Protein backbone atom coordinates (compact mmCIF):
# COMPACT_ATOMS: atom_id res chain seq x y z
CA UNK A 1 0.00 0.00 0.00
CA UNK A 2 1.29 3.47 -0.81
CA UNK A 3 0.69 6.75 0.95
CA UNK A 4 0.49 10.35 -0.25
CA UNK A 5 2.54 13.25 1.06
CA UNK A 6 2.60 16.98 0.41
CA UNK A 7 6.01 18.62 0.13
CA UNK A 8 5.85 22.38 0.76
CA UNK A 9 8.77 24.33 -0.68
CA UNK A 10 9.53 27.24 1.64
CA UNK A 11 11.91 29.95 0.51
CA UNK A 12 12.84 33.53 1.31
CA UNK A 13 10.30 36.03 0.04
CA UNK A 14 10.85 36.37 -3.67
CA UNK A 15 9.40 38.11 -6.68
CA UNK A 16 9.14 35.88 -9.75
CA UNK A 17 9.53 38.99 -11.91
CA UNK A 18 13.03 39.57 -10.50
CA UNK A 19 14.59 36.15 -11.11
CA UNK A 20 18.22 36.57 -12.21
CA UNK A 21 19.13 35.65 -15.78
CA UNK A 22 19.40 31.88 -16.10
CA UNK A 23 17.63 31.35 -12.77
CA UNK A 24 14.52 29.76 -14.24
CA UNK A 25 16.55 27.38 -16.40
CA UNK A 26 18.68 26.37 -13.41
CA UNK A 27 15.56 25.78 -11.29
CA UNK A 28 14.01 23.76 -14.12
CA UNK A 29 17.06 21.49 -14.25
CA UNK A 30 17.04 21.02 -10.46
CA UNK A 31 13.34 20.14 -10.41
CA UNK A 32 13.84 17.81 -13.38
CA UNK A 33 16.55 15.99 -11.42
CA UNK A 34 14.20 15.73 -8.43
CA UNK A 35 11.47 14.28 -10.67
CA UNK A 36 13.93 11.73 -12.06
CA UNK A 37 15.02 10.72 -8.53
CA UNK A 38 11.40 10.16 -7.48
CA UNK A 39 10.74 7.99 -10.54
CA UNK A 40 14.00 6.04 -10.05
CA UNK A 41 12.90 5.25 -6.48
CA UNK A 42 9.64 3.75 -7.78
CA UNK A 43 7.58 6.57 -6.26
CA UNK A 44 5.29 8.99 -8.10
CA UNK A 45 4.78 12.71 -8.36
CA UNK A 46 1.00 13.14 -8.48
CA UNK A 47 1.09 16.91 -8.90
CA UNK A 48 2.99 20.06 -8.15
CA UNK A 49 3.18 23.70 -9.09
CA UNK A 50 5.20 26.83 -8.53
CA UNK A 51 3.19 29.54 -6.77
CA UNK A 52 3.12 33.20 -7.67
CA UNK A 53 4.69 35.67 -5.26
CA UNK A 54 3.06 36.75 -1.99
CA UNK A 55 1.65 39.99 -3.42
CA UNK A 56 -0.78 37.93 -5.54
CA UNK A 57 -2.13 35.92 -2.58
CA UNK A 58 -5.61 36.48 -1.18
CA UNK A 59 -6.47 35.82 2.47
CA UNK A 60 -10.01 34.64 3.12
CA UNK A 61 -11.97 34.51 6.35
CA UNK A 62 -15.01 32.36 5.44
CA UNK A 63 -18.55 33.60 5.99
CA UNK A 64 -19.94 32.51 9.37
CA UNK A 65 -22.92 33.31 11.56
CA UNK A 66 -24.50 35.52 8.89
CA UNK A 67 -21.34 37.59 8.46
CA UNK A 68 -19.97 37.83 4.90
CA UNK A 69 -16.61 36.45 3.91
CA UNK A 70 -13.67 38.84 4.26
CA UNK A 71 -11.04 39.00 1.52
CA UNK A 72 -7.59 40.53 2.03
CA UNK A 73 -5.13 41.11 -0.80
CA UNK A 74 -1.54 40.02 -0.25
CA UNK A 75 1.01 40.19 0.92
CA UNK A 76 -0.79 38.82 3.94
CA UNK A 77 1.81 39.26 6.68
CA UNK A 78 5.27 40.54 7.31
CA UNK A 79 7.37 37.48 6.64
CA UNK A 80 10.84 36.55 5.55
CA UNK A 81 9.74 33.31 3.89
CA UNK A 82 6.85 32.03 1.78
CA UNK A 83 5.56 28.78 0.33
CA UNK A 84 6.82 29.07 -3.24
CA UNK A 85 5.58 25.71 -4.52
CA UNK A 86 4.58 22.18 -3.70
CA UNK A 87 4.69 18.56 -4.82
CA UNK A 88 2.16 15.84 -4.08
CA UNK A 89 4.00 12.52 -4.03
CA UNK A 90 3.04 8.90 -3.48
CA UNK A 91 5.53 6.57 -1.81
CA UNK A 92 5.58 3.16 -0.15
CA UNK A 93 6.75 4.41 3.26
CA UNK A 94 7.17 7.56 5.31
CA UNK A 95 10.93 6.99 5.31
CA UNK A 96 10.96 6.90 1.50
CA UNK A 97 8.91 10.11 1.43
CA UNK A 98 11.37 11.79 3.80
CA UNK A 99 14.39 10.70 1.78
CA UNK A 100 12.86 11.86 -1.50
CA UNK A 101 11.59 15.15 -0.06
CA UNK A 102 15.14 15.89 1.10
CA UNK A 103 16.15 15.92 -2.59
CA UNK A 104 13.59 18.60 -3.54
CA UNK A 105 15.29 21.85 -4.61
CA UNK A 106 14.84 24.86 -2.34
CA UNK A 107 16.95 27.80 -1.24
CA UNK A 108 15.63 27.46 2.33
CA UNK A 109 13.65 24.50 3.70
CA UNK A 110 10.86 22.01 3.11
CA UNK A 111 7.89 20.66 5.04
CA UNK A 112 6.52 17.14 4.52
CA UNK A 113 2.87 16.57 5.40
CA UNK A 114 1.18 13.14 5.26
CA UNK A 115 -2.16 13.29 3.44
CA UNK A 116 -5.10 12.00 5.43
CA UNK A 117 -6.78 9.22 3.46
CA UNK A 118 -10.45 10.05 3.76
CA UNK A 119 -11.62 7.51 1.19
CA UNK A 120 -14.54 5.50 2.50
CA UNK A 121 -15.37 7.94 5.28
The ranges assigned to domains in the chain are 3-114
Give pLDDT tens digits along the chain (121 positions): 689 999 999 988 766 677 788 888 998 999 999 999 999 999 999 999 999 888 888 999 999 999 999 999 988 877 778 888 999 999 999 999 999 999 999 989 999 999 998 887 7
List C-alpha distances in Å: 121 to 3, 21, 109, 116.
Answer: 17, 49, 33, 11
Per DSSP, the residues of 34-97 read: HHHHHHHTT-EEEEEEEPPPGGG-EEEE--BTTBPPEEEESP-S--SEEEEEEEEEEESSHHHH
Topology of domain 3-114 in CATH is Alpha-Beta Plaits (3.30.70)
pTM > 0.85: yes
State the virtual CA torsion across 27, 6, 96, 90 in degrees, nearest 10: -100
Amino acid sequence: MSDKYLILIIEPTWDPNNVPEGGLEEAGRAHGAFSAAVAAAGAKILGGEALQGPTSAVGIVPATDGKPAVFTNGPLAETTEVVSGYYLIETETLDQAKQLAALCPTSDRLELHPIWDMAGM
